[in-house]
Amino acid sequence: MTIPVTAVRTAVYRFPTPTPEADGTLSWDATTVVTVEVDAGERTGLGWTYSSPAAAAVIADDLAPVLTGHDAVDVTGAWQAMHRAGRNLGTRGLFAQALSAVDIALWDLKARLLELPLTDLFGRVHDRVPVYGSGGFTTFDDAELAEQVAGWQAAGCTAMKIKIGESWGSRTGRDLERVSRLRELAGDDAELMVDANGGYSPGQARRVGRILDELGVVWFEEPVSSDDADTLHLLRGVLRCDVAAGEYVADDRDAARLISSVDCLQLDVTRCGGYTGWLRCAALAAAAGLEVSGHCAPALHAPVAAAAPRLRHVEWFADHARLEPLLADGVPPVVDGAMVPGNAVGHGMTPAAGAQRWRIR
């Protein structure tokens, strides 16, 4: 039985942040979301990625022609066909983000055609998907950080992450003061995590990392650029805290290059080839004895994270946690520090009517 894809539609939304935000190496005042809906057999699947509006053009111009008429149940075959179509464009970065959004929509569509929750299609290894609170922007003052931490505590999060590496590592004194402030706010039992977004030099990362160890920090994300796998590997050898990276992984080859350099592999379902790519990369991590952590996009991660035997947690990133319920109905809530994948068909989410307010094309 073949159920051909009959239509592929994109939309672009822009959600302003409440105030300008920054991490160690980038600042922003809005989050752009590119959504895709795929139709087949009188059902519709929904996917999205956090990317440039240009991802919508890639989907419409380069992926939709490959998909239209393809059997909607054959998601892996569609993935291969889309990936081949990107050969001359480059299959990573923007292209991978576009492909990821479509792959997510295809899996959602397949589960809806089969009238199954996506979690059951992938396999329900975990009944609950633990999340950690993530935000702590370098632009925050003390009161803003305190308010955010209180929100994470109210949701039952026992692990929380802030941004450090402010202004490309030029304010390490303030970085460390903010980590100490997080400890005061979060309490002695909380697992403290930091993300430098590649803002430090190798020597800085080693020196800051030693102090983070003294402060009891358990997770040091992108102490240096994740392009520098050699330095990540060296840091992994000298620091007690876990060294983490992987948010820019676009495929299994990218993941393989990072495996020996991290203690926990991060994977972003909106960048690494969708659910298909995420499961492939998670299997690579498992083969190396590593856990995986879902990067951003918490609602989209819920069904696939529940299927990963070596799952540590999913990032409940402030910007995405705020906008996902505005973008889609059916976003799983965080209760007692976890999302519980439900029994609705597909991933359970559909476009929210109110989202039109933020649509820009």
Give the residues lining the site for Mg ion (CB under 5 A).
195, 247
> Which residues are within 8 A (CB) of 88 and not within 5 positions of it... i.e. 6 or more apart?
none
Q: How far is the CB of 48 from Mg ion (least distance, A)?
A: 19
Q: Which is nearer to Mg ion, 195 or 319 (CB)?
A: 195
Can you tell me whether residue 257 is helix, strand or coil? helix
Q: Which is nearer to Mg ion, 294 or 332 (CB)?
A: 294
Q: How far is the CB of 169 from Mg ion (least distance, A)?
A: 15
Q: Which is nearer to Mg ion, 70 or 320 (CB)?
A: 320
Q: Which is nearer to Mg ion, 195 or 242 (CB)?
A: 195
User: How far apart, in Å, are the Cα atoms of 310 and each of 132, 166, 289, 319?
Assistant: 16, 32, 8, 26
Q: How far is the CB of 40 from Mg ion (least distance, A)?
A: 35
Q: What is the CA radius of gyration of the chain?
A: 20
Closest residue to Mg ion using C-beta atoms: 195
User: How far apart, in Å, are the Cα atoms of 246 and each of 59, 232, 335?
Assistant: 24, 11, 27
Long-range CB pairs of 183-191 (<8 Å, 24+ gap) are 183/215, 183/216, 185/145, 185/146, 185/149, 185/150, 186/149, 186/153, 186/160, 189/158, 190/158, 190/159, 190/160, 191/132, 191/158, 191/159, 191/160, 191/218, 191/219
Q: Which is nearer to Mg ion, 136 or 274 (CB)?
A: 136
Can you tell me whether residue 159 is helix, strand or coil? strand
Q: Which is nearer to Mg ion, 46 or 157 (CB)?
A: 157
Closest among 132, 225, 239 to 182, alpha carbons compared? 132
| Contact indicator for 310, 291 with CB cutoff of 8 Å | yes
Q: Which is nearer to Mg ion, 58 or 224 (CB)?
A: 224
Q: How far is the CB of 247 from Mg ion (least distance, A)?
A: 5
Write the DSSP symbol of residue 331. P
Q: How far is the CB of 221 from Mg ion (least distance, A)?
A: 5
Question: Helix 318-327 and helix 298-305: axis angle, to 10°?
Answer: 90
Q: How far is the CB of 137 from Mg ion (least distance, A)?
A: 12
Q: How far is the CB of 222 from Mg ion (least distance, A)?
A: 6
> Which residues are within 8 A (CB) of 322 and not within 5 positions of it... i.e. 6 or more apart?
15
Q: Which is nearer to Mg ion, 195 or 324 (CB)?
A: 195
Q: How far is the CB of 343 from Mg ion (least distance, A)?
A: 32
